[in-house]
Chains A and B, each alone.
Chain A
Amino acid sequence: MTDAAAATPDAIAALEPTLRKFAFRATKNADLAQELAQATLASALEGSRSFEGRSQLRTWLLGVLAHKIVDHLRRLGRDGGEGPEDPDLLAAPDSQGVERVVAARHQLQRVEAALAQLPERERLALLLEVEGVSREEMCNALGVEPTHLRVVLHRGRHRLRRLLEKDEVR
């Protein structure tokens, strides 16, 4: 647990690069990422009293940012949705599948490119999980119930796995 007093303006502002990098991975648009990161900082500085210290300041800010990303997608008429259920998602890899995915471990760019092909909500959920955001914060940010979040993470992981194995990264 973090002391709520940790949400000082300097501490919040220091996380701007982290927010901008996360927003870029989620949106693949540098200008939009900058805009969203700045909006998140502004919201956080105005509403720092709402940070109760139940989580790390970092994960709290990432949750706020994710919420803004989802709002942005909704304004664009995209609901930040996820992909359909696909029976091939659970299909076993071929004999080379594991080796290919292991190779992907060392190829950050391939993973990022594959991630960019995921439906937006799945991509956002996986990125939030990587950053250590709690399930509760993820649900708040994405506007979904816990059971739905499990489905989003499940589909996102399996879809990413298939993309990496098939080397369908464009």
Chain B
Amino acid sequence: MTSRRDDLCRPQRLHFSDYLDGAPMPWWRRLLVAFHVKYCPACRPLYRSLEATQEALSALHTHDE
């Protein structure tokens, strides 16, 4: 059984990766996701965690010798 929080958050979380990438999305969706990552107490750390993961990944960029 999912909690009410899960019902509210899950649809937004599905778009976190695209939002992080700046991928094209409808303006209203971008607004919803932006609001959610800023104000949701559960999703704010998740989004920051995703940002940190992406930053950690960027350290793998291969520098040409």
Residue among B14, B43, B52, B58 making CB contact with A154, cutoff 8 Å: B14
- Please state if B50 and A131 are interface contacts (CB–CB under 8 Å): no
Residues of B within 8 A of A158 (CB): 17, 50
Interface residues as binary, A138-170 with B (CB distance below 8 Å gives 1, 0 otherwise): 000000000000100110011011001100000
Judged by DSSP, the binding face of B is: helix
Report chain A residues within 8 Å CB of B52: 98, 101-102, 104-105
Q: Is the CB of B42 within 8 A of A17?
A: no
Query: In this complex, what residue of B is CB-closest to A153?
Result: B17
Considering the chains assembled together, what is the distance between the CA atoms of A165 and B54 in angstroms? 13
Name the prevailing secondary structure of the A interface residues: helix
| A157/B64 contact (C-beta < 8 A), A150-B17, A150-B23 known | no
Q: How many A-B residue pairs have CB under 8 A?
A: 87
Q: Nearest chain B CB to A147's CB is how many angstroms away?
A: 11
Query: Is A131 a contact of B61 with CB atoms below 8 Å?
Result: yes
Residue-by-residue, is A100-134 near B (CB-CB < 8 Å gives 1, otherwise 0)? 01101100100110010000000000110111100
Q: A interface, how many residues as a size bin? A: 35 or more
A92 within 8 A of B: yes
Residues of B within 8 A of A (CB): 9-10, 13-14, 17-18, 20-21, 23, 42-43, 45-46, 48-50, 52-62, 64-65
* 7 A-B pairs whose Cβ atoms sit less than 8 Å apart in the complex: A98-B48, A105-B59, A111-B60, A154-B14, A154-B18, A157-B50, A164-B56
Q: Which 10 A-B pairs have the closest CB atoms?
A: A101-B52, A154-B17, A161-B53, A90-B13, A17-B65, A92-B42, A92-B46, A105-B56, A104-B56, A111-B56
